[in-house]
Structure 1
Amino acid sequence: MTKNKQLLVFTLLLFISGITALIFQTLWVKQLGIVIGVDIYSTSIVISGFFTGLGAGNYYLGKYIQRSDNPLRVYCNLEILTAISSAIISLLLFYTESTYVQIEAIIGKFAYLLPWVLIAIPAFFMSGTFLALIKYYNPSKETSGKSIGYLYGANTAGAILGALSTPFIIIPFFGVVGAGLFTASINLCLGGYVYFFMINKEEKVERQKHEQPTSIGFHIGYILYGFIGFVGISQEILWGQIIVQFQNTRTYAFATMLAIYLLGLAVGNFVMGKYIHRIKNLWKSFGLLTFGSIFCTLLSIAVLGNWTLEYQVEFGNTLFGIFSSKGAMMMGRFLFISSFFILVPTTLMGAIFPVITQLVSNGNQLSEVSGKLLAWNTFGGVLGSAITGFILFPTLGVIYTLFLLLILSIGVAFVAFYQTKSTKKYAPSFALGLLFIAFIPNTKFIDLLLEKETGEIIYFKEGIGNTVAVIEQGQGDRIFRRLYIQGVSNTGDVFPSLRYMRLQSFIPLITFNGTPKSALVVGLGTGITAGSLLKFPELEERAVVELLPEVVEATNKFVGNYQLAQSKNINIYVDDGRHKLMKEVRTYDLITLEPPPPTAVGVNNLYSKDFYELCKSRLTENGMMAQWWPITTQTVGASESLVKAILEVFPYANLWTTEMHEMLIIGSMQPLTLDLELIRKRLAYPDVKKALNEVGIHNEAQFLSTYVMDRGGLNVFSRNAEPVTDNHPILEYDGWVKKSVLTEILPQLLDAQEDIPNLPSDLKKEIDYERENLHRFYYAGMASYVGRRDVWSMLLTDLYKFDDKNAYYNWYDPK
């Protein structure tokens, strides 16, 4: 096989290896989020474990492969070991959830070491495939830089496809378990191809005769490239914090950002690989690339403004005009903003590898040198992810952390320039760069958020892996506050939200068969849902679990939650909601679920059939599970799957409408018997009555008019759907939602609304009257959604003839 053909085949092999590596990494982040909880720690375990495995493999396998007389056979073995270990680990992460919880209960956070070690094992084997092919290819000194750039660039380019294909194709098509097994089969095919079609024993003998490998000693380049790894991964963490506020929390947005990151690395490798032979001063190039990468990141922040957002929207609209697809429009926006921040810095970062490899190796012992360089770089990255993610960012914030990284990069560049005695030449440029960047305000992003959203900042804190803000908006008697996480609005205390959150707790408590003694809310948010528990006198135990400590801190900034953060009558736990239920064995009379919207990344775990099974096991005999159902945040098909998951777990279920955009599904193991006398008694509790009056529920008829249907109607609604499961996370990979989704799903549910059986005829008439008013209000809202403000105004005006005292209706008064 000629050298050119070898290069082509090896480029393809490494391209496919890159695909499988990123599929596994993305898959394990998702799986570990279920096992130990969806938070920064699960992501950090995967990244640090993966990088540690890569670093150790690069270091030790680099030495081993350099001395091997048959690197192709080593490559085969590594691909097979990668396939077997990756498949086993994917299965273990999926099926040993409860086992891990039991282990963690015994040894605490030391249990984190178990998945960390498991993930490091296949990463160790993955790292050697690139080194084995480099050793076999054995480029000349003159072409070594070019070969390194091409092959490593191909591996990175494959990672781009892996990052994008996982959320768009692999998991939606194969499911989580199938994705792991399918990807492992690809690695087996790569190893099998080389074993059966490429291994040549005669070439092995020839190489044994002509190669006398000698180890290259220590080189300053190893340490410098370790610092590059620290800065590079630190930037990746900070980009994740920065960019999400200009995108959204869909998994596609994060995949796009990762793809652009890898694209820059690949382009840098390819371009530098092609032109490296023309560079006369490699140390100077190394120094300039190092400084340029972090400087360009800070420069993008310095010039960031509303103009950036306008171009982002315009780029997305252009793609919408071409493809007539909201998906294309949203992807265009994701691509634009990710490229704006990431593409140039990562291209410069990617160009460093061929340069430093050429500097350290001078074309000799490429496998060993490349392995050691990648090991130092990877271990630097592990330190960067830990120090930046858990110390620098929460302490200093984005801007000051980047400023420290700039100083570190300047130090690395100075060491590089010192090798060629040219530090004085570039010192003024570095000083000007520092002076320019020093004028970037630390409040740059919150100022931009306020410009975009308008309002006044009430609370702002950068925590471990997240940024939480509370912004006050509106004017006059319409002032309200919204909770922003990562720059994205999650919830607020605006009046419609106040209504549905109160009903989220009160409907199941008021209709409960028997006496509810204990209740748990999953998801704190504004605290309104959990705070409502304080006003129900029959409860003896109240608890709420929230993932982010900053959200707990911000809760006292919202109205309507009865200041639950200061109450001794409710326990607030900072934990992953699913993980908390897995760890404890106690039961509750009510578990009410109000996590983030279903399509947010990682949240599918709290809407799946598997999670509902867990909730069922934590309910008392008469217990209820109440699931918040936002009907406008996902497609109708995804909503059907959400409902189907509940119906496959609970034999009894019913649906209530809590607000025009929200529904409430209650699941139970016992039939729901509406005891009218008991309902009247509970509605008459002074605190309950006052709380409901404030949100437009003044009597039993208005309360019962929110009932929509029982299990039969829900069965009809979801009859063609597959349930949401951990293995098939339908919600997370749902399509793009059109604005018209409300006008598609709400009429369908309202038309199927059922009467409550066995009620007195006079009460039934009152309920019909209130239901008709509620329908007028909902159809007015839908008229507004389709641009018919005249119909909206007419229907509301008509409504006020029948009910002009209802606080809920009056909040929307067109006058």
Structure 2
Amino acid sequence: MSQPSTQRHRQGSEAVSLWFPSFLFFLSGASGLIYEIVWSRMLVLIMGNTTMATSTILAAFMGGLALGSYYWGRRVEKGRMPGLKLFGRLEVGVGLYAFVFPLLMLAASPLEIWIASLTHPGDTPRLILRFLICISMLTPPTFLMGGTFAAIGHDLIRRQDTFCRRTALLYGLNTTGAVLGALLTGFILIHTLGHRNCLWLAGAISMAVGGLALWRTRRVDDRAGHRPTKKMSVPATLRKPARQIDRRVMAGLLVSGFCAMAYQVLWTRILILIADNSVYAFTAILTMFLVGIAAGSLLLSLVIDRIRRPGPVFGWTLVCIAVTAYGYPFFIELRPIDLETPYWIFLMVKLPLVLLIPTMLMGMALPLAAHIHQLAQGTVGSSIGTVLAVNTIGAVAGAVLAGFWLIPGLGFRNGLLILSTANLVMGAWIITGSCKRLTASVSLALLAALAWAGYMAMPADYFQKKYARIEPGSKLIYYNEDKAANVTVFQRPDGNRVLYINGIPEVDTSYLSVRTLKLLGILAGAVGNPPGDALMVTFGAGITAGAAALYADNVDCVDLAEQARTVAGFFAPVNNRVADNPKVRIHVDDARHYLRARDRKYALIVSDATHPRSYDSWILFTRQFYELVQRRLKDDGAFCQWLPFHGMDPQQFTSIVRTFAHVFEHTSIWREGEAYIVLLATPAPLAIDFAEMNRRLNRPDVRKAMASVSLNNPIELLRSFSMGPEQIAKLTGNAPLIEDNSPAHLFFSFRATLKEQYHQWPLENYRLIEGHEESVLPFITHIDADQKRRRAITNRIRLNEMRKKRSGE
């Protein structure tokens, strides 16, 4: 065979040997993101949905990756086993763990409840013990996942002249797989398969990838035998400058990992103000973050071999990240999506333009750092493992500190300023160590001028002024960026006030809204629920809590927002000054976790106004949550929940109603206008004592609090009645129950825009309810002893019901 044909044959064999493992690594990236999303969502069910809990889960996940990267990178370098064989074993191990994870969840749940019963929210012992639970559950699989890059890179990168290109290529392919995994999981898999089956699908993918890798290794070993890779010989002209800046580059990579994750947290918090607080918004932001990283690393793989001085290039990459990350807020408008823009077009077309450039630069940073570290050390697997470990350790710190310190302590603007300055300083430090003195001095002067210009371009109240545009013509009277949410209060020109949480209008002081929220709080007490302690699931503006406090002995309010009491002060005229009520206690915690961790039982539990599609509220509308509420109610206790008509198609709306009624046998529906309903669960069939209701509503404090919304007399309150259990059964039919494992109610907005029916659904849901409404009279047991008065009251109730139907209220 001639020399050219031999060379072509070698190149062809090399391409085949490269692309098959690369494809496996691509699939590994896809399954890895499925694991991350599903494990996080499953652990939230037992750890709670607070910022502290989610940060703990993320830190444990990424900590395992860092540990695995470092350990397996050094292990594979010893050459005792082919890298592809090790990769296959690691993938099989991860896949097996995925199948047993649901069993571990069953064991962890009672342990976490026991810990929560002994500690208080925010206490250091609880944080430590929770973190240990997460570590024990997530470290085994993530420790294995962390070694996959080093293992596969050890086999595929055998020559010095291919290290740079292949490292960037592998990193890009793995991240591209992660993009696919994020898209499929967020938009399709969880909705169609549920959490458990989604996890098992990822486990099957991992085991298939591992099996194919082991099969491939066996074929290669049978033909050629295993040849341990020797340490690469790096020319002195490349090694010396690399060693001079290697420590600086590792420090820069640590800071880069910290900043990248912190940027993601900050950007997510800012972008959900305009992209909606839904599962699709979070999925799109994560996906676009990964798209940029994948694109950056793949583009770098095309040109990295031409880079003769990677040190300055890495430094300037950090500088460019600082500039583009700090500058992106200038290119977005903090206002809701206009109704003419389809939601999916905004998520998949407009959103990437904001994130693409800085994330592409982030995708270039890690391969460049790996290139420099490999030149300095002369190893493959160990270099890749060390670089990944350093970057991931920084990311762990960024995930935790961004939520706990940067946002609540410094705010969006100062947080971006700190992160960009950190990138800028590290980039400048690396540049000065890689360039001649004159070049370094000029670079430092330019960077200092750039930092000053950035500081002056964004005033301290930049985001506050920009966010004020979300309500044109209204006055922003309260603005706060805390750990859990961005909370704002506007005063409209007509005098009404509106509370926004993460860009979504949650509560306003319009007549219908206040009437509904007060009905939610007073309904159970008015229809005969005995007095006792009450629990509010979410607090909002305190309107419902203020109404519930009229009958309750004490009211425990559980909310994720730390400034709930402060916000309530802005709504004092309509919430009965609940912030000053000594009977009302506010707990900063996840409400579902709060209920699980305590054996205390309540006479009344109320789930206040929070939309089922919100990313952090989905756990309050499943069968398991309703069963938990049932266990925390006294034998004669009642449960009320607010439910809107908007944002849900009729099937999803009726699924929530059926799930509620499935758990609570004696359910009734009460409707306010064409916007909301209140679901009421009573311990026995609804039996309204009209005379007792009249007595309760005629208490002076109740009459005063309810007069503004005409709920201070029984006939007007009974006008809100819609239907009882029989009609509810006809309304819901065989609508599917909503489960923790399969939260179909989350997947509304995206489907709505595809079907172009989103804005018709409120009317459709209203007509569904209206078509099954019945008279309240069969549910009234005692009106009055006097026959004449009884007949007069009955006629007034019937007349009121007729007026309600005619007016379409």
TM-score for the superposition, normalised by structure 1: 0.89
From 609, 614, 623, give the equivalent of 2:623. 609
For 1:18, give the aligned amino acid: G
- Residue correspondence of structure 1 range 327-406 to structure 2 within 5 A: 329-362=342-375, 364-406=378-420
From 34, 54, 57, give the equivalent of 1:43. 54
Distance 2:165 2:126 in 1: 49
For 1:258, give the aligned amino acid: L
Q: Which moved more, 1:631-640 or 1:764-773?
A: 764-773
Partner residue of 1:84?
Answer: 96
Distance 2:404 2:427 in 1: 26
For 1:425, give the aligned amino acid: V
Distance 1:313 1:335 in 2: 16
- Is 1:456 aligned to residue 493 of structure 2? no
- Residue correspondence of structure 1 range 699-778 to structure 2 within 5 A: 699-734=713-748, 735-736=751-752, 738-758=758-778, 760-778=790-808
Q: 1:65 to 1:204 in 2, by over 3 A?
A: farther
Distance 1:571 1:668 in 2: 25
Q: Following TM superposition, by how much is the alpha carbon of 1:548 offset from its aligned partner in structure 2, in angstroms?
A: 1.1
- Is 1:690 aligned to residue 720 of structure 2? no
- Is 1:443 aligned to residue 443 of structure 2? no
Partner residue of 1:196?
Answer: 215
- Is 1:227 aligned to residue 244 of structure 2? no
- Is 1:551 aligned to residue 564 of structure 2? yes
Partner residue of 2:786?
Answer: none
Q: Which moved more, 1:257-266 or 1:581-590?
A: 581-590
* Structure 2 runs not aligned, ≥5 long: 1-11, 119-124, 781-789
Secondary structure of 1:627's counterpart equals: strand
Partner residue of 1:426?
Answer: 443
From 101, 110, 128, give the equivalent of 2:147. 128
Secondary structure of 2:476's counterpart equals: strand
For 1:608, give the aligned amino acid: T
Distance 2:623 2:364 in 1: 47
Instruction: Say if 2:231 and 2:378, in contact at 8 Å, map to a contact too.
Output: no
Write the deviation string for residues 379-426 of structure 1: whole angstroms up to 9, x where unpaired. 111122222321222111111122122221122112221222232232
Q: 1:742 to 1:488 in 2, by over 3 A?
A: closer
Distance 2:333 2:264 in 1: 21
Q: Which moved more, 1:522-531 or 1:600-609?
A: 600-609
Q: Following TM superposition, by how much is the alpha carbon of 1:370 offset from its aligned partner in structure 2, in angstroms?
A: 0.9
Distance 2:498 2:225 in 1: 71
- Residue correspondence of structure 1 range 619-634 to structure 2 within 5 A: 619-634=633-648
Write the deviation string for residues 315-373 of structure 1: whole angstroms up to 9, x where unpaired. x73xxxxxxxxxxx212212345323321001011012222222221394221101101
Instruction: Say if 1:63 and 1:368, in contact at 8 Å, map to a contact too.
Output: yes
Q: Following TM superposition, by how much is the alpha carbon of 1:713 offset from its aligned partner in structure 2, in angstroms?
A: 0.8
* Structure 1 runs not aligned, ≥5 long: 318-328, 780-815
Instruction: Say if 2:30 and 2:181, in contact at 8 Å, map to a contact too.
Output: yes
From 660, 665, 670, give the equivalent of 1:646. 660
Secondary structure of 2:663's counterpart equals: coil
Q: Following TM superposition, by how much is the alpha carbon of 1:742 offset from its aligned partner in structure 2, in angstroms?
A: 2.1
Distance 1:157 1:8 in 2: 15
Q: Following TM superposition, by how much is the alpha carbon of 1:72 offset from its aligned partner in structure 2, in angstroms?
A: 2.1
Partner residue of 2:612?
Answer: 598
Distance 2:670 2:643 in 1: 10
For 2:86, give the aligned amino acid: V
Partner residue of 2:501?
Answer: 485
Partner residue of 1:285?
Answer: 313
Distance 1:499 1:42 in 2: 35
Distance 2:697 2:208 in 1: 66
Partner residue of 2:599?
Answer: 585
Identity across the alignment (%): 24
Partner residue of 2:651?
Answer: 637
Write the deviation string for residues 551-602 of structure 1: whole angstroms up to 9, x where unpaired. 3321111131122111112222221111111111121111111152001113
Secondary structure of 2:808's counterpart equals: helix
Pairwise CA RMSD? 2.3
- Is 1:110 aligned to residue 128 of structure 2? yes
Q: Which moved more, 1:402-411 or 1:370-379?
A: 402-411
Q: Following TM superposition, by how much is the alpha carbon of 1:203 offset from its aligned partner in structure 2, in angstroms?
A: 7.1
Secondary structure of 2:641's counterpart equals: strand
- Residue correspondence of structure 1 range 157-236 to structure 2 within 5 A: 157-200=176-219, 202=221, 207-208=226-227, 211=230, 219-236=247-264
Q: 1:86 to 1:222 in 2, by over 3 A?
A: farther
Q: Which moved more, 1:4-13 or 1:343-352?
A: 4-13
From 78, 87, 94, give the equivalent of 1:75. 87
Write the deviation string for residues 732-771 of structure 1: whole angstroms up to 9, x where unpaired. 1233261111221212211211123456543332122222
Distance 1:131 1:694 in 2: 68
From 91, 98, 105, give the equivalent of 1:93. 105
Q: Following TM superposition, by how much is the alpha carbon of 1:703 offset from its aligned partner in structure 2, in angstroms?
A: 1.6
Secondary structure of 1:187's counterpart equals: helix
- Is 1:148 aligned to residue 167 of structure 2? yes
For 2:374, give the aligned amino acid: S
Instruction: Say if 1:543 and 1:571, in contact at 8 Å, map to a contact too.
Output: yes
Instruction: Say if 2:723 and 2:774, in contact at 8 Å, map to a contact too.
Output: yes
- Residue correspondence of structure 1 range 771-786 to structure 2 within 5 A: 771-778=801-808
Q: Which moved more, 1:442-451 or 1:49-58?
A: 442-451
Q: 1:44 to 1:369 in 2, by over 3 A?
A: same
Distance 2:98 2:247 in 1: 34
Instruction: Say if 1:705 and 1:768, in contact at 8 Å, map to a contact too.
Output: no
Instruction: Say if 1:243 and 1:337, in contact at 8 Å, map to a contact too.
Output: no
Instruction: Say if 1:167 and 1:733, in contact at 8 Å, map to a contact too.
Output: no
For 1:669, give the aligned amino acid: P
Write the deviation string for residues 101-146 of structure 1: whole angstroms up to 9, x where unpaired. 1133346333212113321221111111121111111342222111
Instruction: Say if 2:576 and 2:705, in contact at 8 Å, map to a contact too.
Output: no
Q: 1:771 to 1:195 in 2, by over 3 A?
A: same
Instruction: Say if 1:31 and 1:94, in contact at 8 Å, map to a contact too.
Output: no
Q: Following TM superposition, by how much is the alpha carbon of 1:209 offset from its aligned partner in structure 2, in angstroms?
A: 6.0
Q: Following TM superposition, by how much is the alpha carbon of 1:730 offset from its aligned partner in structure 2, in angstroms?
A: 1.5
Secondary structure of 1:457's counterpart equals: strand
Instruction: Say if 2:554 and 2:584, in contact at 8 Å, map to a contact too.
Output: yes
Distance 2:300 2:222 in 1: 30
Q: 1:412 to 1:569 in 2, by over 3 A?
A: same
Q: Following TM superposition, by how much is the alpha carbon of 1:220 offset from its aligned partner in structure 2, in angstroms?
A: 3.5
Q: How many residues align?
A: 758
Distance 1:210 1:706 in 2: 78
Q: 1:683 to 1:370 in 2, by over 3 A?
A: same
Instruction: Say if 1:449 and 1:487, in contact at 8 Å, map to a contact too.
Output: no
TM-score for the superposition, normalised by structure 2: 0.90
Secondary structure of 1:628's counterpart equals: strand
Distance 2:543 2:645 in 1: 20
Q: Following TM superposition, by how much is the alpha carbon of 1:542 offset from its aligned partner in structure 2, in angstroms?
A: 2.2
Distance 1:12 1:395 in 2: 44
Partner residue of 2:517?
Answer: 501
Instruction: Say if 1:393 and 1:401, in contact at 8 Å, map to a contact too.
Output: yes
Q: Following TM superposition, by how much is the alpha carbon of 1:305 offset from its aligned partner in structure 2, in angstroms?
A: 4.7
Distance 1:203 1:595 in 2: 65
Instruction: Say if 1:360 and 1:369, in contact at 8 Å, map to a contact too.
Output: yes
Q: Which moved more, 1:182-191 or 1:87-96?
A: 87-96
Distance 1:209 1:575 in 2: 54
Instruction: Say if 1:643 and 1:723, in contact at 8 Å, map to a contact too.
Output: no
Partner residue of 1:801?
Answer: none
